[in-house]
Structure 1
């Protein structure tokens, strides 16, 4: 059983670990509080925490109904211990401790980011070692080398300012599109010209860090372009702006991922996180991976966003690897580093 509560989704997933190490998904239930945050244009931590409290038991109930199981069938529990919003994490950790104590089963406090990688095994099977993971979401944009999903994840690069998903939200606000910004920008871009506006590609100069990202300048460039058009009394071409912005993001993400894979001699790229569901990112990644001879693995959209299935999957891999369970005095860590797979 996996419990996820790092941000605004309350997720409960149930998986079965088979003797050959395969992990089978039995249930994946999610309750989102995104509508409660939409009017604020971003996640409000206190609202998210309260929503997790209200949704935790009903979401777990639905998961067991979907799986056709009862609580007594649970052999182990995994829960997101970090990174994430402190209050939100604490709700999930407290619930997991209560379930683990009541059922007398081992508890695993795990890393949210590692969960985003582990979830791919539910769709595509075991991860080759090593593989490269590009994690792109509202809070994270990272390139990670994965030698062992249960014990060895190394950060190669990350964003120095805004995450890709955060930039989508801010650009959507500039264009008067709904929150969260990813899906509406993707839809608007479908009718636009990605070459209409030459937006900058951050951190791509010869002296910039090879694997780090920056999207703050791109976000600002979009805002300045839109402001300029409005000052001139012009109608803002939302579709072209969205398509050009999205092209800039996808270009940088895929360019750096292919570069890192080539430098390290890694033949498999996994893209996960909420932004992995973006149509242009997946299309450009597929094109560039094919040209470079790299296998591309992208989980289906439902598995890319925050969910309990990814936490359950990571917990199953820890059990299979013989990792020591967490103690009941384990606490949430909002700044848990990606190299710490379990606590």
Structure 2
């Protein structure tokens, strides 16, 4: 064998400590953003049937939930609201006493060190379940921007640290940025759902947020999963309009898109590890088909390797515990 010439790559893989020494990609607790679903009422803590371990909680259980996150070392949350009343314009989304606005105030009063991100959309609040205002059976893009801007402003007034618009209306970053600036919130960043596909991975989230559309689907405003160049056009528009973060959603099936967005833009990139990705692993683990800890950490690390700086994930609590181990 002495006359063979080849590289000995295995030298750097021999031991745990050697592998740790040369590891290129690292997952930290500071990278994790935990989604929380807040509902009206009292003493409500409902596990979402399609998302084991994820709960809808009322405000009286919110303190317990946030304290758990703080104790785990998770420093950021994104808040989704499930209102008790819905109407055609989603008025509870931008009401001063809407469920998200009240939740934000409570979190910031009790845990001011937490970074609170407000999801800014209308789908949970409209009786038709779409992300904008419906006129003559179609989504009126420009009218929707007015309601979305009002929502963002009331969320900022409640104390949100970051506004995260997820509606995929054209011009939503420009409209919300202008509205925030005019309301005196020029210091509040916008975490744009810049690249959001019309994905089949969202089903469990719609169970949790009660946000399924009552007619049609969202393919006319969310992106076609087949398209890559369209993602770059969407991201470029949001950069031009003043976005401070860019989200790619979903994450796992779109790591190629995530890498390309990261290579092109120097803004912080956020992977949204969505509900379907979460539920598949939970179901497989409950059946004993996979090692949950190993597969979760491998998956989250793949998102970091693809360029994500931050990860919105329902696995945040689990991952924090794994990192401690």
Give me the TM-score of the superposition, normalised by structure 2: 0.30
Higher relative contact order (CA 8 A, sep 6+): 1
